[in-house]
Amino acid sequence: MNQATTENRVTGHRTAALLDALERAWGNGEVDVLDTVLAESFVRHGRTSLQTRDELKASIIDMRRAFPDLTMTVERVIEGTDEVALYWTSNGTLTDTYLGLPATGRTYSVSGATFSRFDGDVVAEESVIYDRRGKYSSLGVPLSGANEVDVDSAAGPDAVRAMHRTMVTGVTVVATDSEGEARGLAVNAFASVSLEPPLILICVQKNSSTYSHLIASKYFGVSVLAADQMGVARVFATKQERKFDQVEWHRGELGVPLLDGATSTMEVELQDTLHASTHTIFIGRVKAVAGTNAPPLVYTGGQFFDGGQLVPAEDLTA
């Protein structure tokens, strides 16, 4: 395993001990060292499952069996008072069966993040997210019937941008709480995924100032802007700090920031992420909904419109 490194200076002794234990466990298979940094009641939260300390240790041993040259590099560390976020990349060659996959001899590569909460000197719980598409496609597992597209044969950005301008969308503000501070951005890449269960998706650019806060959150809020909130949309389309100081807002039942006067609001629990080039797709489960029935703000052709002034197509042909 590569030595755990970080672009950020690690000053906390707990974080340093955690990094050392992770290096020894994942890189050398010394999983018992995790007993020194993980609480006996430790729980690891995945997207759809939980792991105890012993189950995590067993999963590391099994993964190293299948990927004997496994490496893990911690690329970024963000420390809080009793929390730490580790952004990492893992690589390895599949030389034995793993989760039903044959030994393909392909190189495994996946990026992810782990968010840990300390209780005293040990980690009480952590949540982990990773790019599942990258994980399985790098092992040779097809995730769709589509073939890879030759970049040279793909449509140019100007043509794609012009096509996007013909689309009609609503305007949403996606927001989350970051250590007591509300963070948010304007998003029009929003869509319903399913009703049972109630899932939605949003797409956020990775260089957004809100991105690191959003991907580290368990919950986020979505406010669908009303027709009279064009000014609000412009505030959240910028990269300025403390955007919420300029608008009226409140916290929902889950503590997420929601905008006053929005035509509807949603409180969402993050379920999964999918990394796609410069953006990340966030899939969330809707936990609560509220609305005012105000006409929505509509965006198309680079302009905002009053959704309440739309004319039914049937009336145009009458």
- Map residue 24 onto helix, strand or coil: helix
Cis previous bond, 312, omega within 30:
no
State the pLDDT at residue 280: 85
The residue ranking higher by pLDDT, 142 or 257, is: 257
Provide the b/e sequence for 54-84 (b: ≥16 CB within 10 Å): eebbeebeebbebbeebbbbbeebbbeeeeb
Average pLDDT over residues 104-125: 89
**Tell me: the pLDDT tens digits for 190-245?**
999 999 999 999 999 888 888 888 887 889 999 999 999 999 999 999 888 899 99
Q: Quick one: how far is CA 235 from the chain centroid? A: 23
Question: Does the structure show a pLDDT above 70 at 290?
Answer: yes
pLDDT of 66 over the 50 cut: yes
Res 102 pLDDT > 80: no
Enter the tokens of residue 39: 């609480």
* End-to-end alpha carbon distance in the chain: 71
Q: With b meaning 16 or more CB within 10 Å and e meaning fewer, what string describes 209-233?
A: ebbbbbbbbebbbbbbbbbebbebb
Q: pLDDT at residue 153 above 80?
A: no
Compute the distance between CA of residue 19 and CA of residue 2 in angstroms, rounded to an integer.
Answer: 12
Per-residue confidence (pLDDT) for residue 22, from 0 to 100: 94
Domains of the chain by residue range: 13-138, 161-302
Domain 161-302, second-level architecture: Roll (2.30)
Q: Write the secondary structure of 93-125 as one string of H (helix), E (strand) and C (coil).
A: ECCCCECCECCCCCEEEEEEEEEEEEECCEEEE
d(CA 16, CA 22): 10
The pLDDT value given to residue 160: 83
Mean pLDDT calculated for residue range 42-50: 83
The DSSP output letter for 7 is S
Q: How confident is the model at residue 144 (pLDDT cuts 50, 70, 90)?
A: very low
3-state secondary structure of 313: helix
pLDDT digits (tens, 9 = 90+) for 78-87: 988 899 999 8
> Is the model's pLDDT at 63 over the cut of 50?
yes
Integer Cα distance of 13 and 238 in angstroms:
38
What confidence score (pLDDT) does residue 112 get?
A: 85
Is it the case that residue 104 has pLDDT exceeding 90? no
CATH number of 13-138: 3.10.450.50
Decide if pLDDT at 164 tops 60: yes
Long-range contacts of 18-21 (CB under 8 A, 24+ apart): 18/84, 18/116, 18/123, 19/74, 19/77, 19/86
